[in-house]
Structure 1
Amino acid sequence: MRSFLSKLTTIDENDLTIKEKKIVDFIKSHLKEIVDTNMKIERMAQEAGTGYSAIYGLLKKLNIKGFRDFAISLANDVENQKINVAKNDENVVQGYINIIKQNYALIEKKDIFQTLTVIRNSSRAFICYWENLLSGPAQELSNFFYKNNLDTFLLDSDQDTLKERTDSSKENDVFIFFTRYGNSSRLDKFITEIGRKNRKIIYISGKVASPNIVQYLSSIHTLIVDNPDESIYKGHISNSVPFNYLNDLLIYHFMNSES
């Protein structure tokens, strides 16, 4: 992952301990100083008023492999902040480019192929958008796979319909969930029920999947959906942009790889 700030947006702040929150606040307030002085973990822990274990615990939650990778990600964040963008419509372009770059750095190709393998081995796909703002990306993916001879069914978060589809699902069915927030206990309940039936589940979310459901997920895509750095761009970015980007990756590799 190339950006600490971007990675931070993929976890819920409530999942951080008090000490981890202190570390995050310290980093945000002293980012340039940390990078310019090549601050070591000993000093960071002392300055933030925590111990080493809290720093390593935070890195583990963010899936950052060691303090060296952590330092590199912080250096990239500082570099991003130095980008001088003209104060006109190029701001919007830069905002889009930035969030796509962050997702490019986050999404691993092996996860794309894992998802495509699950879909190719399925007889039917139930594609569910949990929030209405993601109906567009879900509809687009559904239409593409339908045109490529996969029976697809587009669903929203209606409880009765989902229960009916879950109860009538078959062994080779796959459920694909789009969710921006990923913090719905009702969604987790449905995923648990589907998983216990040994159905395949693809989870596409703007937040890290709850530990309660990870065991049931066949493929996971955690996206950067919030603007990670307002020093680059302070405007609005359409909520669907990261999900459309993932769709395009899936479609591209589906069309350009062997079955």
Structure 2
Amino acid sequence: MRSFLAKLSTIEENNLTTRELIIVDYIKSNSKQIVEENIKIDELARRAKTGFSAIYNLLKKMNIDGYRDFMICLANDVEHAELNIAKNDENVANGYINLIKQNYTLIKKANLVKTINLIDSSPRIVICYWEGVLRGPAMDLSNFFYNHGVNVTLLDSDWDSINNRIKNTQTNDLYIFLTKYGTSTHLSKVIEAIRKQKGKSIFISGKVPSKEVEENASLVHTLIVDGVEINDDNVLISKSLPFHYFNDLLIYHYLNSEKK
């Protein structure tokens, strides 16, 4: 599902410029009016008191393909905000469904294929969960590959364990990192160290990666971990849900690649 607010949730606020923050505030406060009037980019720039370039830069950071795609995303947000969903268990179900739909749109299938290629070409795999809440999906993925004869190790974010492993990295060893927010400078340094050791790394995160991670990771997958479709404080969706969904997609494509 295309959603401006969902994609915005993948960007850390401190990665936006002052002008981009002004644009975001204006859009969030006037989204319904923008959609109903179908305002053009020049009018949006005028109302937000900024320039075209700042708008385009913001959309690029959010992986939105141009102004037309932005309007479609925003229209979806407005439509869902106006839905009068019954206040019962349906809210939780819709929270799950909407979060999965958002990730279905965001996850690039071509990158899943590239992930499988990296796995197939790696002599050893290390799966590392950076936050305790992601131990479940990391363990599930580790168990799956172990059962399929892959040389795989499961780690948490313990400094000594990771650095000892990196010191013994062989060429093309693959590290798969699962992290909700991926803002750790420690993690950035770990990924850089892996590249220097001629290892590979896959960064799976609920936020757009930092410049350092982007430069050193072999592959990046950005997930949406915060649902934005239902305005109900009592609906709390597990942060691990998108990672389980990603696992299931990866496993599905992996098994189908084995059949070919």
Tell me if TM exceeds 0.5. yes
Q: What CA distance in whole angstroms lies between the structure 2 residues aligned with 1:56 and 1:218? A: 27
AA aligned to 1:142 is S
Task: Answer yes or no: is 1:215 the counterpart of 2:215.
Answer: yes
> What are the within-5 Å matches in structure 2 for residues 113-124 of structure 1?
113-124=113-124
Structure 2 match to 1:170: 170
C-alpha distance in 1, partners of 2:233/2:108?
25
Question: How does 1:69-108 map onto structure 2 within 5 Å?
Answer: 69-108=69-108
For the residues of structure 2 that align with 1:171 and 1:51, how far apart are their CA atoms? 47
- Is residue 2:13 matched to residue 1:13? yes
Q: Distance in 2 between matches of 1:234 and 1:21?
A: 28
Say yes or no: does 1:155 pair with 2:178: no
SS for the counterpart of 2:169 is coil
Amino acid corresponding to residue 33 of structure 1 in structure 2: Q
In the alignment, which residue of structure 1 is the partner of 2:41? 41
Deviation readout 1:68-125 (Å, 9 max, x if unpaired): 1111111111122233322111110000001000000101110111111111111111
CA deviation map 1:181-237 (0-9, x unaligned): 110001101110001112111110001111112122222110000122343776100
CA distance in 2, matches of 1:235, 1:39: 33
Describe the shift of the 1:140–1:181 C-alpha distance in structure 2 as closer, same or farther (beyond 3 A).
same
What's the secondary structure of 1:30's corresponding residue? helix
* TM-score, structure 2 as length reference: 0.96
Deviation at 1:171, TM superposition (A): 1.1
1:36-84 Cα shifts (integer Å, max 9, x gaps): 0001111111111111111111011112121111111111111222333
1:220 match: secondary structure: strand
> Whole-Å Cα distance in 2 between the matches of residues 80 and 240 of structure 1?
23
- Asked if structure 1 preserves the Cα contact closer than 8 Å seen for 2:125 and 2:173, the reply is yes
C-alpha distance in 1 between matches for 2:2 and 2:110: 18
User: Structure 2 vs 1, CA of residues 249 and 181 (structure 1 numbering), >3 Å: closer, same or farther?
Assistant: same
Q: Which runs of 4+ in 1 moved over 3 A?
A: 229-234
Separation of aligned partners in 2, 1:215 and 1:17: 21
- TM-score, normalization: structure 1? 0.96
AA aligned opposite 1:98:
N
Q: Percent identical across equivalent pairs?
A: 54
**AA matched with 1:14:** N
SS of the residue 1:257 aligns to: helix
Q: Which ranges of structure 2 fall in alignment gaps of 5 or more residues?
A: none
| Residues paired across the two proteins, number | 259
2:227: which partner in 1?
Answer: 227
Equivalence for 2:254? 254
